[in-house]
Amino acid sequence: MINRDRLGETFRKLAGIDSVSREEGAISIEIRKILESLGADIYIDDSGRRTGSNTGNLIAKFEGNSRAPALLLNAHMDTVEPGKGVKPEFVDGVFKSDGTTVLGADDKSAIAIIIESLRVIRENDLPHGPLEIVFTTCEEIGLLGAKHLDFGLLEAGFGFALDTADTETIITMAPASNRFDLTVHGKSAHAGADPEKGINAIALASQAIAKLELGRIDSETTANIGFIKCTGATNIVPDQVQVKGEVRSHDGEKLEQVTGRIIEAFERVVETSPQRDDAAGLPRVSFHVENEFPKTFIPETHPVVRLAKSAAENLGRQIVSKRTGGGSDANIFYSKGIITGVIGTGMRDIHTVREWIRLDDMVETARLLIEIVRLHAGQGPAS
């Protein structure tokens, strides 16, 4: 039932529409046009006012022809940089860019798959419950669209996000993440004439970072320093340096412990610095810690997992549950009580100019999604 060429053309068209984070307006208009032609009721929430995007999240609703409860389907509209002027190429069954930009398969392959699945469902009058399609903005810069989504527009209690690579898995466990932003405050001085009068903020930050355990802490926990910034001339002792990073863990207690150890390392270094200006309160460290997203844990007995595995089995395939180290919109939906499993589209080398995807993988994911919707339609009313 899948129209392979149509699916490929839909993806090609979407990939060619620029939609880096906060600039999703053009692709939202195109998606809206397609979904309205399929009979969807469309809502654009006001999240753009808070995310800085030139549009809000797009919510499309389809009435069901069965008594099944509402089912959520999710993907995000934004891409990372370099994502302007994408020229998708199709060679030997594989989509890629011209090598100067990302392709945008993350996550436009998901959008194309959902659209093709909806077309097939409508064309063949397949059974389905109410479908709530949510295409978010600003996922790549902190899940901002999902965080500011108008959840009052949704009724679904569970569903699926299409936002990972592996087409043979469903992600049922994802970590929580803390993001931290630290500033080490030192004291400026002439680096040649009076270095003794200064307090080098870079040196202090470096000492603290050297004491940290970074990378994989254990099987559940990771930590990373991803940003260091200091501006100034080489002949000035630097008086300020900013350090940003993150901690992720599937265990909430470990998340807070590792985050705390990082903050403590910076505080200890400034407190024990032999160079001090007590009158000015220097050196010192200021910091802000924010929970970027909560963890998810979906048991094997949940309908989301059973649906995905049963649908795959019906197609002669196997889907296995998987734990991931990444976050997605599914984390935010989960925190709002919408249990959301994450399934793959086949996208590879994402966030690089080498990104690629096989059309055959997209076709297989569309087949899986249609079978999920069909099976879900036979569930009857929510208990």
Report which of 371, 380, 377, 382 is spatially closest to residue 309, judged by C-alpha positions. Answer: 371
Report which of 121, 39, 140, 124 is spatially closest to residue 83, judged by C-alpha positions. Answer: 140
Cα end-to-end distance, the chain, whole Å? 32
Separation CA 372–CA 236 (nearest Å): 63
Q: Which residues of 117-132 are buried (b: 16+ CB within 10 A; e: fewer)?
A: bbbbbeeeebbbbbbb
Residue type, 132: E
Residues paired with 72 in a beta bridge: 132, 159
DSSP string, 275-294: --BTTTTBSEEEEEEEEEE-
Instruction: Decide if 360 is catalytic.
Output: no
CB 243 within 8 Å of CB 269: no
Which member of 24, 45, 139, 140 is catalytic?
Answer: 139
Separation CA 191–CA 199 (nearest Å): 10
Separation CA 162–CA 110 (nearest Å): 5
Which member of 78, 116, 166, 364 is catalytic?
Answer: 78
Angle of helix 359-377 relative to helix 303-314, nearest 10 degrees, comes to 120
Task: Say which residues have a Cβ less than 8 Å from residue 334's Cβ, sequence separation at least 6.
Answer: 294, 296, 298, 340
| Residue 85 burial (10 A CB sphere; 0-12, 13-18, 19+) | exposed
Instruction: Decide if 41 is catalytic.
Output: no
Question: What's the longest Cα–Cα distance across the chain?
Answer: 81
Q: Which residues of 59-78 are buried (b: 16+ CB within 10 A; e: fewer)?
A: bbbbebebebbbbbbbbbbb
Q: Catalytic amino acids? A: 78, 139
